[in-house]
């Protein structure tokens, strides 16, 4: 089932969940070169991650160039994972990141999902504004990383 298309503006930016608009080259360049969590991620892996994320969102400037991105992986019922959130440096600090996060976590298809999760090194303050809080009991959580 494709996600419900949602579009809104934030100042002069257009926010859109239309995956056809995404600049996958830009997303790959940012994630693999600039991000602290996906350094070196290959283009094919970025493409696959976008393809299999139920919900994606981009922000676009007046020229239509993509300046921000986020995606959400979900079963549409019990669980959702928000990840790969970024705003290009020149466009940060004007509320665009907040608008991006608000739009994706409150998207009508996922707003009633049992629980939404994310991981962040230092941007907790951004997500707290939209109802995220630290895990109640991290000792209940496990992970299974791929062997190196
Ligand atoms: C985090 C990021 C998406 C925020 O985008 P932005 O457009 O600058 O965000 P906003 O202008 O809406 O500001 C968001 C709020 O979160 C706060 N915030 C932003 N980045 C933060 C950070 N790294 N740590 C703590 N707080 C942060 C801001 O101070 C602001 O608070 P305010 O609303 O009380 O003023 C952007 O800085 C970014 O892409 N950073 C690099 C990549 C990254 O860290 N992504 C998040 C991975 S979980």
- Reported as a pLDDT band with limits 50, 70 and 90, residue 33 is very high
pLDDT, the chain, mean: 97
Q: Print the domain residue range for 23.
A: 7-140
Q: Are strands 66-74 and 79-87 parallel, antiparallel or unpaired?
A: antiparallel
The answer to whether residue 85 is domain-embedded is yes
Among residues 103, 16, 105, 28, the alpha carbon closest in space to that of 59 is found at: 16
Overall average pLDDT of the 14-25 stretch: 98
The count of structural domains within the chain is 1
The answer to whether residue 2 is domain-embedded is no
Where is pLDDT greater, at 146 or 95?
95
The answer to whether residue 68 is domain-embedded is yes
**1 pLDDT exceeds 90?**
no
Q: Is the CB of 111 under 6 A from ligand 1?
A: no
* CA of residue 87 to ligand 1 center, whole Å: 8
Q: How far is the C-alpha of 87 from the C-alpha of 5, rounded, in Å? A: 21
pLDDT at 59: 98
**Nearest CA, atom 1, ligand 1:** 123
CATH of the domain at 76: 3.40.630.30
The answer to whether residue 146 is domain-embedded is no
* CA of residue 36 to ligand 1 center, whole Å: 14
pLDDT at 148: 76
**87 pLDDT exceeds 90?**
yes
pLDDT at 56: 98
pLDDT at 147: 87
- Reported as a pLDDT band with limits 50, 70 and 90, residue 89 is very high
From residue 71, alpha-carbon distances to 55, 140, 142, 147 in Å are 6, 25, 22, 25
The answer to whether residue 148 is domain-embedded is no
The answer to whether residue 124 is domain-embedded is yes
pLDDT tens column, 41-59 = 999 999 999 999 999 999 9
* CA of residue 139 to ligand 1 center, whole Å: 27
Q: How far is the C-alpha of 142 from the C-alpha of 71, rounded, in Å? A: 22
The answer to whether residue 53 is domain-embedded is yes
Overall average pLDDT of the 71-82 stretch: 98
The answer to whether residue 116 is domain-embedded is yes
- Reported as a pLDDT band with limits 50, 70 and 90, residue 115 is very high
pLDDT at 114: 97
């Amino acid at each position: 089932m494709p996600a419900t298309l949602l579009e809104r503006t934030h100042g002069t930016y257009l926010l859109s969940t239309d995956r056809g608009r995404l600049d996958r080259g830009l997303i790959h360049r940012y994630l693999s070169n600039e991000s602290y969590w996906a350094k070196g991620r290959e283009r094919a892996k970025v493409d696959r991650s976008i393809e299999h994320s139920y919900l994606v969102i981009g922000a676009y400037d007046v020229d239509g160039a993509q300046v921000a991105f986020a995606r959400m992986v979900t079963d549409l019922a019990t669980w959702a994972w928000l990840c790969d959130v970024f705003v290009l440096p020149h466009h940060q600090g004007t509320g665009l990141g907040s608008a991006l996060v608000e739009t994706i976590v409150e998207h009508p298809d996922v707003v009633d999902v049992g629980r939404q999760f994310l991981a962040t090194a230092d941007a907790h303050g951004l997500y707290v504004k939209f109802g995220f809080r630290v895990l109640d009991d991290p000792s209940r959580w496990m992970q299974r990383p791929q062997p190196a």
